[in-house]
Chains A and B, each alone.
Chain A
Amino acid sequence: MAQVASNSSTSEQAAGAQGLQFLLNDKLIHLNHCPPTQTVLQYLRTEQNLVGSKEGCAEGDCGACTVVLGELNHQTIADERAVRLRAANACIQFMPTLDGKALYTVEYLRQASGELHPVQQAMVDCNGSQCGFCTPGFVMSLWSMYLEHQANNTQPSDIEVRTALSGNLCRCTGYKPILQAGQAMFDLPSVNFDHVKLGMQLNALQREEPMTLPSISAARIDKNINDSDVTYFYAPKNLAQLITLRTAKPEATVLAGGTDVGLWVTKQLKSLGDIIYIGQVTELHQLQRTDQGLHIGAAVNLSDALQLIAKHYPQINEQWQRFASVPVRNAGTLGGNVANGSPIGDSMPWLIVLGAQVHLTSERGERHLPLEDLYVDYMQKSMHADEIITAITLPLPKPLQRFATHKLSKRYDSDISAVCAAFAIELDHNNMITDVRIAFGGIAAIPKRATKAEATLNDQPWSEASVQAAMQALAEDYAPLSDMRASAQNRAQSAANLLYRFYLETRTEQPLSVSQLSVFNHEANT
């Protein structure tokens, strides 16, 4: 329940809480307590009667709930303005993660005069809505893009509009009119947004101390309610606080972007108990290129992380575009993808072949592990209960290294891989293989290197015969499963064919270009 001011009680102070503060459509909201896993969408619809944001799937896959979050840029490479406004899925974002942020819903957009915002007017003009249920979500995705381009005085390309809408499903229109609206909105009289003012407001909301937010009111806690009925949302501010908390509460759920954890609540109906949120830990927001390579803090979202990595490894561009959707990438983290360790996580195969290291920290100190060594068996990791993944580091590209990664799924946008492949190879001047790393996702219980296939290739010429032998050897590396994404036979065949595609692309004689090998890179109608 929204309360304008807090009457501090003893137990609140004991809990070290001053409550959750955020801006909702420019209005300051202060909550002294909140169920740690209440979603933003539930709050908007049931407690604020802001029903413009819809629930279409409650798992971040349809975008009907899309809102925009404004927050201060955490990144140490502060080459952008202080405030960022990005699309988010309200259906899987937990309320307490809003602390110190600004939340905008579709209800914010109509102007004071009652006129529609240019984003909305363009949607009307282009016939961008039919049943209208997905429309508020599309409007918010378009609005976040509008703000970005308006601030930079640019207009998006068709591909940029498509990317911005990759997390919104429409079942009626077939998308064409919405894509048109994404351009037409820039032709209407513009409506400005005051980034500077928001920056100041958000700065004023930043806290020095960690937040500890109870699930129920201080008054009820005071009435000696059974301790187990109260859960807490902890948002430490620095690494030391995080490690102390983790040591004290090894059973608590660690939360980063929540793009998977959110579904444990909305779909599996799990009670998560206490939550330790790493999103406010300053050190975990480090994102930089160092002499050793790329350092990606565990709280860095995928949009930022993939952007930096793609600067150095442009071969991941397609993976980047196809990694979930914009709102999921804005919330989800590379650390979370790696920590989750799902056999179908899309980052691990290429992180593994590029030699990524995972940084694990506990009270006993920090240790580094090659990423492939983190995974032991299905959902089993060589990680202690008190350890936190704090960063992932990636070496810089090697001059002779050839690298490629591919994702195979039923749909281009926002799908889960049937097979995800990554290859890195180094050849000497005699076309001999000096180093080869092959890893796949989707075809084993864990993301895993193809050691047998690699063995057949080491010290061999990079030739048709060698690649055929390696393709054969893949059968010994993996015993894929059949499921709704693909049959075992198809996964095996596709894995081998993807290796062959890599050969065609990197062979010394008459290599094929990417546009000759990928339907998604091909220039249409050439």
Chain B
Amino acid sequence: MSTEQSLSHAAPHESAALHTSGEATYIDDLLELSGTLHAALGLSEQAHAIINTIDLSQVTASEGVVAVLQAGDITGINDCGPINQDDPILADGLVQYIGQPIFAVVAHTLEQARMATHKAKIDYTPLPALFTPEEAQAQQHFVVPPMQCVQGEPAKKLETAPHRLQGTLKVGGQEQFYLEGQISYAIPQEDNGLHLYCSTQHPSEMQHLVAQALKLNKHQITVEIRRMGGGFGGKESQSAIFACIASVCAQQLQRPIKLRLDRDDDMMITGKRHCFYYDYDVGYDKHGRIVAAAVNMVLRAGFSTDLSPPVAARAVCHFDNAYYLSDAQIKASCGQTNTQSATAFRGFGGPQGALAIEMIMDNIARELGEDPLTIRKRNFYGKTTRNVTPYDQVVRDNVIHELVAELEVSSDYAKRQVEIKTFNQSSPVLKKGLALTPLKFGISFNVVHLNQAGALVHVYLDGSVLVNHGGTEMGQGLHTKIAQVVANELGLSLTHVKATATRTDKVANTSATAASTGADLNAMAAMKAAHSIKQRLIKVARTLVNDSQAEVIFADDTVQCNADHWAFSELVQLAYEQRVQLWADGFYKTPKLNWDKDAMKGNPFYYFAYGASVSEVLVDTLTGEFKLLRTDLLHDAGEALNPAIDIGQVEGGFIQGVGWLTTEELVWDARGKLMTHAPSTYKIPAVNDCPEIFNVQLFENSNREPTIMRSKAVGEPPLLLAFSVFFAIRDAIASVSNYEINPPLDAPATPERILNAVTQARSQASP
């Protein structure tokens, strides 16, 4: 394998063979240490209430129960919030949502522990509760003060705009539904230490919060994660409560404690994607160009702060999507509700922010009787003018024009649009719809200091290489890409390099694997570490050939210098004998970032990723059912580090987005109890939701910034590609009113919402 190949070729996931053979180890698969006990949680049955008394006598007496722990058993601080301290590990006197953990039962088996949790008798005094963002807005109940970004003179420009359009929109939340539920396995160590296996995207934060809860120093806690069975944002902050409870139990009982959540408990306890309520007001000219926009977004933050402020900030910074807004007022408020604390989920507010302006584009088009794509294109950011975002960042890498043009041709957009209109005229019940939507997504954490990463590279005497870095593997192929980068740097074939479990005792103070930055940050750090070792080996080689200027080439598992060459392992052995350090660290921080979070101005993103999609759907106007007939995706991953893995991210992100906007509906009852808490009632896309015609391409591009090998982050952006499905559905619905009416359609577009929109479009259509 040549050097080039080890970098860019489409290597399969490093664990692919282990995945398919069932040998890949997840935390619940680890051999249990003898003496391991199992924990389960007792949950609140009230949305908002004072706990008067807790009678746990029957819980304690239940078969197999070893201990029952409550808030008072926590040695340190009873909190696991990532930003604000408003996330109790165990509820202490007050419950704030149905599903909030109140006590932990530890028993010999998991079944015994679960059985016992239902035997508690808790007496509550109910308090008034809020459930929806609209209610929270009306009561001005927010977890943090509202934020806004203002550009130009939106109020004035709205007044003078030739056309004006106002409306509201609701978009539902989304359960992450990682297939591997939340799990922590805490093992007491000597000298009060603790080793914690935790399915988490953020080992360093788990270490911090566990240390805080146990009143220990961080150096006494090691957090380890080899791989997660999916994360999607749901294991960034939400793994903390389980990490802390398992650790508290382990500390108290000095026994290994495993806390593995049943799926229903997991869904009842943990936060999901924020649902949004929007109120918008736009002015536009006769060409459909927006001259001013004002939007107020209200998020369902849930009972605590969690990550809602940065989610809201990202929503604000993505309301523009691919469109230039000269004058805009973008406001976001995090409504406090008595529900699960909404959290990170792939896109982190970006998809919600951008969906609103896509709805606006769609509306303007129908108001003017134009094709929505025409209106979208007229509003695209320019390349040299009309290229400043509402938050003042200049868009320097805009490729949306050429990307959309390419997709328009490859998907036969114009021709199919004509065919669809013809079809609809002769089809009384079933209607087709088509839509092309673009995306632009900012890459970097919106909080500047989080954009840093470290790595350790060890070269062993047999020439094999081990990489440790701060990123976590959740299926996205991060370890594969990092191994490729290190192999490339050292001229090795991929089999010589292994990226292994993420551990807080290897690389310290890491950031979450989130915001799509995993490879951008950690691969760069790993490459730098490998580069240091390479420099040392170059010196050794030059010494061996006695030529201090000689060119040294690392390729094909060998090192060549002038007429001499060595197997990589031979040179490593020679270097060792010369007492050369064969391991190194690497550190990377993203340049060019600045952000004023109060003014909401600056350069929060290092660069932008782009993409576009075309979807065609068939809608049943009698039942509201729909089928996705065809999708074409074109996505910008820069110079892809691994095209196979990147295409997997694009396809998977798209389908996940389709789920968010169509089948996945979170429903709370009047008491605030989540009614969709298992796959029987909460429907993520299944195999027949994947369209039969599904063309997926990476856009040929190179990152203009010197990112790792000029690649672009690819984890989150493709989720926005799903917009085309939602707007294709809306296009099909609009056909019943001869495209004259903007059907009022909220997300997710379930059969019920689609049927309601059809009914309304019909009733409002001119005869």
Contact = CB atoms under 8 A, between A and B. Distances in A.
B462 interface: no
Contact of A519 (B619, B652, B678): B619
Contacts of A398: none
A410 B751 contact: yes
Contacts of B690: 174-176, 179
A522 B429 CA distance: 12
Contacts of A158: 692
A133 B229 contact: yes
A110 interface: yes
A339 B162 CA distance: 66
B690 to A, nearest CB: 4
B687 A61 contact: no
Given A59-B680, A130-B476, A497 B687 contact: no
A61 B180 CA distance: 14
Contacts of B425: none
Interface in B735-762: 750-752, 755-756, 759
Interface string A332-358: 000000000000000000000000000
Given A487-B752, A504-B429, A522 B627 contact: yes
A127 B645 contact: yes
Nearest to A61: B679
Nearest to A132: B19
B16 interface: yes
B680 A139 contact: no
Interface string A99-119: 000000111011000001001
Given A120-B20, A131-B229, A512-B429, A418 B679 contact: no
Interface in B84-120: 111, 114-115, 118
Interface in A47-82: 49, 51-59, 61-62, 64
B623 interface: yes
Contacts of B684: 169, 171
A59 B22 contact: no
A434 to B, nearest CB: 26
Range of interface residues on chain A? 35 or more
Interface string A490-521: 10011001101100100000001000111110
A127 B12 contact: yes
B679 A57 contact: yes
B180 A56 contact: yes
A485 B230 CA distance: 27
B264 interface: yes
A484 interface: yes
A131 B227 contact: yes
Contacts of A512: 428-429
Nearest to B263: A57
A425 interface: no
Contacts of A524: 629-630, 692-693
Nearest to A130: B475
B390 to A, nearest CB: 32
A500 B684 CA distance: 30
A171 B627 contact: no
Interface majority SS on B: helix, strand, loop or mixed?
Answer: loop
Contacts of B306: none
Nearest to B12: A124
A408 B683 contact: no
Contact of A498 (B18, B623, B681, B683): B623
Contact of A525 (B19, B24, B230, B693): B693
Interface stretch (B25-33, B41-49, B64-72, B327-335): B25-33
Interface string B653-690: 11110000001010100000001101111011111111
B13 interface: yes
Given A129-B16, A131-B178, A176 B22 contact: no
B475 A172 contact: yes
A313 interface: no
B430 A413 contact: no
A134 interface: yes
Interface residues of B, number: 94
Contacts of A174: 651-656, 685, 690
A267 interface: yes
A484 B670 CA distance: 12
Contacts of A410: 663, 665, 683, 750-751
B618 interface: yes
Contact of A269 (B118, B477, B679, B755): B118
Contact of A61 (B23, B428, B623, B680): B680
Contact of A171 (B178, B622, B645): B178
Interface in A444-492: 483-487, 490
B477 A130 contact: yes
B622 A498 contact: yes
Given A173-B652, A522-B618, A490 B19 contact: no
Given A414-B686, A519-B430, A129 B19 contact: yes
A484 B175 CA distance: 15
Interface string A154-191: 00001000100110111111111111000000000000
Contacts of B647: 127
A177 B648 contact: yes
Interface string A263-293: 0000101000000000000000000000000
Interface string B108-148: 00010011001000000000000000000000000000000
Contacts of A517: 429-430, 620, 622
Contacts of B176: 171
A515 to B, nearest CB: 9
A109 B23 CA distance: 11
Given A519-B619, A522-B618, A120 B648 contact: no
A129 B13 contact: yes
Contacts of A267: 264, 678
A107 B680 CA distance: 28
A410 B25 CA distance: 34
A58 to B, nearest CB: 6
A146 to B, nearest CB: 13
Interface in A232-273: 267, 269
B644 interface: yes
Contacts of B25: 51
A127 B16 contact: yes
A176 B689 contact: no
A131 B228 contact: yes
A86 B564 CA distance: 60
A415 interface: yes
Contacts of A45: 28
B428 to A, nearest CB: 7
B427 A169 contact: no
Interface string A374-415: 000000000000000000000000000000001011111111
Contacts of B645: 127
Given A59-B680, A174-B656, A123 B687 contact: no
B17 A175 contact: no
A116 B20 CA distance: 8
Given A171-B179, A416-B681, A483-B675, A123 B694 contact: no
A415 B683 contact: yes
A520 B477 CA distance: 35
A124 B22 contact: no
Interface of A: 45, 49, 51-59, 61-62, 64, 105-107, 109-110, 116, 119-121, 123-125, 127-136, 139, 158, 162, 165-166, 168-179, 267, 269, 406, 408-416, 418, 483-487, 490, 493-494, 497-498, 500-501, 504, 512, 516-520, 522, 524-525
Given A171-B684, A408-B623, A484-B667, 5 more contacts: A131-B230, A171-B179, A172-B475, A267-B678, A520-B627
Return the 8 tightest CB-CB contacts between A and B, nearest first.
A52-B22, A131-B475, A133-B229, A132-B19, A174-B655, A106-B22, A130-B475, A61-B679
19 contacts: A57-B263, A120-B17, A125-B12, A129-B19, A130-B13, A132-B227, A132-B475, A171-B179, A171-B656, A172-B230, A173-B655, A176-B690, A177-B651, A410-B683, A412-B627, A415-B683, A484-B667, A484-B675, A525-B616
